[in-house]
Structure 1
Amino acid sequence: MVNKERYESAKAIYGELGIDTDAAIARLKDIPVSLHCWQGDDVTGFDHDGPLTGGIQTTGNYPGKARTPDELMEDMDKAISLMPGKKKLNLHACYAIFEDGEYADRDKLEPKHFAKWVEFAKARNMGIDFNPTFFSHDKVKDGLTLSSPDEGTRKFWIEHGKACIRISNYFAKETGVPCVMNIWTGDGYKDIPADRMGPRMRYKDSIEQILSEPYDKNQVKPCVESKVFGIGVESYTVGSAEFTLSFAATHEGCLPLMDNGHYHPTEVVSDKIPALLCYYPEIALHITRPVRWDSDHVLLFDDETREMAKEIVRCEALGRVYMALDYFDASINRVSAWVIGFRSWQKALLNALCTPNALFKKLQDENRLTELMVLQEEIKTYPFGDIWAEYCRQCGVQEDKKWFEEIVSYEKEVLVKR
């Protein structure tokens, strides 16, 4: 049976549960997902030559790492060509592009240092999201940035944050798409601190100073991201979940951002999404796959990934949740890592759109829990692969099993020659 015939058969099967797969495919085509540039070069960036610091770590040494802006853009183009759906570009400030021997430290960054990225994004009809880079810099003093007791250190990083606000405004104006600007630092202590409140009060004041920089609140969406712990800050993290949620709740226009690797291994962000949507008009996500902790493994089509997507869809929050991928694996082909993760999240969203959420809710509300369990289990073996294949066909990209052949050729022709 050819793929189109298989799709029509699958469409009829889902239709018995009231699911319009044509509508699900059409809806997914219009949902933007932000693709992180830092998978392609192991979070190195272009503004420093030193090692990663500040709680960031990449493992592996697979050949073909991007070394220049042109190589990174070339790799992203190859990955994008194998991804169905709508994309945004997600940048870190350390990916500023300097030309003709020019250099600007992070507190002096300007929109012009990202003009090539704007050109790249506009040519591909992509918006841009942005992240100040509060790590891998010699001004990270004793592991601290915005919460440092040293006023000069705080001032430097506050000015960096303000510069990033201006750059985010520029991105939104140039692309016509709102820019999500996420504030995350690795500030904290390796062992038990003597003062937990002091660093958090300094952190609060620093973020408030950053957000005092003028910007279009309809076009720039500042976020604060939490973390439970990181390398070198195992005992105390300044930007805890309680801190960031409280900050976002008490500062108009500031969004909470949840990274599903930034929690205890027994916590799940899928349960937190509907909880936050009860209170926040909008939220943001960094989507990854933690193994034991925030290890930033490549996203897979696993249980929690599917459940996160289901919560966004069943809460009718596709227009309220800003979704971005965030992982970096240097142990495998980096372009493949991009493609696998992006396609996995697309699968999760399509799977959620092909779930009879209204029916399941009705069964729950009527306490028909046995019937609910039966249907929830049976739909797991429905022919979802045929719906996915049709989505890929309509988006003009290779379906599963075939796209990797292009990666193999690209590795031989491009990556191993670097």
Structure 2
Amino acid sequence: MKEELIQKAYEVAKERYAAIGVDVEKAMDALQKISLSLHCWQADDVAGFEAQGALTGGIQATGNYPGKARNMEELRQDVLKAASYIPGTHRLNLHEIYGDFGGKFVDRDQVEPAHFESWMQWATENNMKLDFNSTSFSHPKSGNLSLSNPDKGIRDFWVEHTKRCRAIAEEMGRRQGDPCIMNLWVHDGSKDITVNRMLYRDLLKDSLDRIFEVEYKNMKDCVESKVFGIGLESYTVGSNDFYIGYGVSRNKIVTLDTGHFHPTESVADKLSSLLLFIPEIMLHVSRPVRWDSDHVTIMNDETMDLCKEIVRCNALDRVHIGLDYFDASINRIGAYVIGSRATQKCVLQALLEPLDTLRKYEANDQLFERLALLEEGKSLPWNAVWDMFCLKNGVPVGEEFIAEIQKYETDVTSKRN
């Protein structure tokens, strides 16, 4: 009976959208092709498998909800459980500290593709392609500076680490027949007033040039900025200006994390500028609350504007969407599902926008008509199209996933000590 109601609502929605020139089938087909890059660190609060101790270097997970993944097997199980409630086929984004080290300590300048062999096998078996990140935080040599450290020994350590991460990403991309997107973010900065800004940025530029000396075919490099880090609030070496300059000059992908800017900045507004000068953009979507707090993504104005701008720029093939939050205060599998589905809902609404008509109004200076249609579009039955998309993908429709995640908590995660 429920499927029949979903079908009826969908047919009405289909007619409503057709009346304003929107093909909902085409929109769903486009959404089907978009793979989110799910972040492995939501499952275990960015702990990884090195057992190095507490998080450092501007990284902080808040909350102590019971049942987090304690090992690789549990993390993989949780990721697959979350993915089973998210329509479509998606990717998994790994940090280097999530390698399969066989219970042995492998320092980060010694990591190799072999330490991710089991991940590559697992990904193939579960039809989930991989992305990758170097990891500069939470290490005895992290300190306040890594790739920009004046100490050549420390700087060389992190250069070697990142070079090896690129080699791992290359092997992942080769094995999966699709480029692995490798993100580079370092926490480097200063807690208080800095009098040597130029030095550290010059060192960072040199380190990056050394890291990118080798050209690869099966991976793509991203560089990610931040406005400030926890404990490093006064100065960030890898600022947005630095990485935009570096990305443009070196033809690299720039990563935009929605939590890494001033609260009044529009990340959506940055897309059209950057896409004129760099090949692609990587997005890390989260929800900042007053600061880069990495709350679970929801269907808010910021995420909606971001997704609409991707579509308006005709850039679905040039903008990669990854998630980057780690909320330890609620059910972690639920956090995955809420954030992923919210992002997809925003993309769907962007795809259902009557863009041709809106652009015609704008070109003719019909500004009343443009604003009126934008407002009316907000109340069109996009949710009926979303329900049909979920139904077609064989995942829970509406709030049905809540009870299923509650059951998984009762049966599985609540039994973890």
TM-score by length of 2: 0.97
1:45-84 superposed matches below 5 A? 45-84=48-87
Q: Is the 8 A contact 2:52 2:138 kept in 1?
A: no
Please give the alpha-carbon distance, in whole angstroms, between the structure 2 residues aligned to 1:334 and 1:64: 8
Aligned to 1:39: 42
Cα offsets for 1:190-231 (capped at 9, x unmatched) = 011011000000001111111113422xx2111110000111
**Counterpart in the other structure of 1:105:** 107
1:19-418 matches, within 5 Å, as 19-99=22-102, 101-141=103-143, 143-216=144-217, 219-252=218-251, 254-418=252-416
Distance in 1, matches of 2:357 and 2:278, equals: 26
Q: CA deviation at 1:355?
A: 0.6
Q: Hey, what's the Cα distance between the residues in 2 that align with 1:180 and 1:154?
A: 23
Letter in 2 for 1:63: P
Name the TM-score, length of structure 1 as normaliser: 0.97
2 CA distance for matches of 1:131 and 1:54? 15
Q: Is the 8 A contact 2:52 2:139 kept in 1?
A: no
Whole-angstrom CA distance in 1 between matches of 2:167 and 2:345:
35
- 1:86 is displaced (CA, Å) by 2.3
Is residue 49–residue 98 contact of structure 2 (8 Å, CA) maintained in 1?
yes
Aligned AA (2:224): E
Contact between 1:261 and 1:295, CA under 8 Å: does it hold in 2? yes
SS in 2 for 1:107: coil
Q: Distance in 2 between matches of 1:237 and 1:53?
A: 15
Q: 1:127·1:178 contact (CA, 8 Å) conserved in 2?
A: no
Give the deviation of 1:124 after TM superposition: 2.1
Alpha-carbon distance, 1:277 to partner: 1.2
Mapped to 2, the partners of 1:249 and 1:378 lie a distance apart of 39
Gaps of 5+ in 1: none
CA distance in 2 between counterparts of 1:364 and 1:295 reads 37
Secondary structure (helix, strand or coil) at the match of 1:385 reads helix
Note the residue ranges of structure 2 that are not aligned, 5 or more in a row.
Answer: none
Number of aligned residue pairs: give it: 413
How far residue 323 of structure 1 moved from its aligned partner, in angstroms, is: 1.2
1:126-173 per-residue CA deviation (whole Å, 9 max, x = no partner) reads 2211100010100113x1100011111001000000100100000001
Identical columns (%): 49
Distance 1:120 1:289 in 2: 30
Alpha-carbon displacement from aligned partner over 1:350-379 (angstroms, at most 9, x marks no partner): 111111112111111211111111111111
Distance 1:362 1:293 in 2: 39
Tell me the distance in 2 between the aligned counterparts of 1:108 and 1:34.
26
Contact 1:127/1:176 (<8 A) preserved: no
